[in-house]
Amino acid sequence: MIFREMLIKSAEEYSLSLTEEQIVRFSHYFEILIDWNQKINLTAITDPKEVAVKHMIDSLSCYDEAIFKNGAKIIDVGTGAGFPGLPLKIFRPDLKLTLFDSLNKRILFLKEVAEKLEIPDIEFVHSRAEEGGKNRKFREVYDIAVSRAVARLSILSELCLPFVAVGGFFIALKGSQYSQEIKESTRAIKALGGEIDKIENIKLPGLDDIRAIVYIRKIKKTLSTYPRRPGIPEKNPL
C-alpha cells in the first residue's frame, strides 16, 4: 500500500497521470523485484517509498512525448532489474522494447516480470553492448537507446550510440556529477555520430539532488570501428 500511494503521489508531482492498470503493474513489478532480490542481487533500494521514487518515477523522468513516438523501437542498455526500460514500457505499452544486459540472471528476472505482468512485445538480450552494437540485428535500428547507471557518459556513448538509427536519440539518465561527465564526453559523442540536443535538470519528489537527462541526437552513422572490443571503451574512453 505504501508503494502504491507513493507512486501515485510522486507521479502527480511529476505531472504524470497513471491509469489503474499501470498502477497495478508497477505494484506487481515491485513485489517480484523484492522477492527475487532475496535470491539474486538486483537492487540496493528496497524501501517501498524509495523504489517508487528512485526506480519507477526516476525511470519515467526521461519520458518526452515528442521523442517517444507511437510504436517507437527502444533499447535499454545495461537494464539490470529493468530500469528505465520496463517502467517506460508500462507507461507506454505501444513501445517496442529491447531489454539488454550482460548478466543472464537479470534477464531471467525480467522475463518472469514480463510474463507475470502480461506485458507483450519485449525482446530480451543477454549480451555485452560492445558485441550487440556490432550485430546487424541491433546496429542502428533503434529510434531510442536509454541507459542509467552503467558507465560515465564518454564510455556510455560508445556503448549506446551504435544502436541508434540516424535521426534517433540516445537518452542518458545521469546523477549530480553530470556537468563534468558532459564536458569529458564532447569528443566521444561527436566521433560516434551524436550531438547533444538538450539537457534537462530533474529533481525527484522528496529528494534534494539535481539529476540530468541528456538527450543526444544521432546525426551521422557511427563508424564501423565502434564500438571497440569488450572492455576497451571502459579502459580507454574516446
Ligand X SMILES: C[S@@+](CC[C@H](N)C(=O)[O-])C[C@H]1O[C@@H](n2cnc3c(N)ncnc32)[C@H](O)[C@@H]1O
Q: Which residues bind ligand X (CB under 6 A)?
A: 78-81, 83, 101-103, 106, 128-130, 148-150, 159
Contacts of 189 (CB under 8 A, 6+ apart): 153, 157, 161, 195, 196, 216
The x, y and z cell numbers of residue 232, run together, are 576497451
Q: How far is the CB of 83 from ligand X (least distance, A)?
A: 4
- CB nearer to ligand X: pick between 167 and 210: 210
The x, y and z cell numbers of residue 42, run together, are 538486483
**Longest pairwise C-alpha distance within the chain:** 50
- CB nearer to ligand X: pick between 108 and 219: 108
- CB nearer to ligand X: pick between 56 and 159: 159
- CB nearer to ligand X: pick between 197 and 234: 234
The x, y and z cell numbers of residue 209, run together, are 539532488
CA distance linking residue 54 with residue 69, whole number of Å: 25
78 annotated to bind ligand: yes
4 annotated to bind ligand: no
- CB nearer to ligand X: pick between 102 and 154: 102
130 annotated to bind ligand: yes
Task: Identify the residue whose cell numbers are 542518458.
Answer: 172
Q: How far is the CB of 101 from ligand X (least distance, A)?
A: 5
What residues are paired with 122 via a beta bridge? 97
Task: Determine phi and psi for 108, rounding to 5 degrees.
Answer: -65, -40
The x, y and z cell numbers of residue 81, run together, are 532489474
83 annotated to bind ligand: yes
Any idea what DSSP says for residue 161? G
In this chain, which residue has its C-beta nearest to ligand X? 80
Q: Assess contact for 197 and 169: CB atoms under 8 A.
A: yes
Helix (H) / strand (E) element for 43: namely: none
25 annotated to bind ligand: no
Q: In terms of Cα–Cα distance, which of 108, 232, 65 is closest to 99?
A: 108
The neighbour count for residue 197, using CB atoms within 10 Å, is 15
Q: How far is the CB of 96 from ligand X (least distance, A)?
A: 19
Give the 3-state secondary structure of residue 44.
Answer: coil
- CB nearer to ligand X: pick between 1 and 77: 77
Q: How far is the CB of 149 from ligand X (least distance, A)?
A: 4
Q: How far is the CB of 20 from ligand X (least distance, A)?
A: 26
Q: How far is the CB of 230 from ligand X (least distance, A)?
A: 7
Binding residues for S-adenosyl-L-methionine: 78, 83, 129-130, 148
Binding residues: 78, 83, 129-130, 148
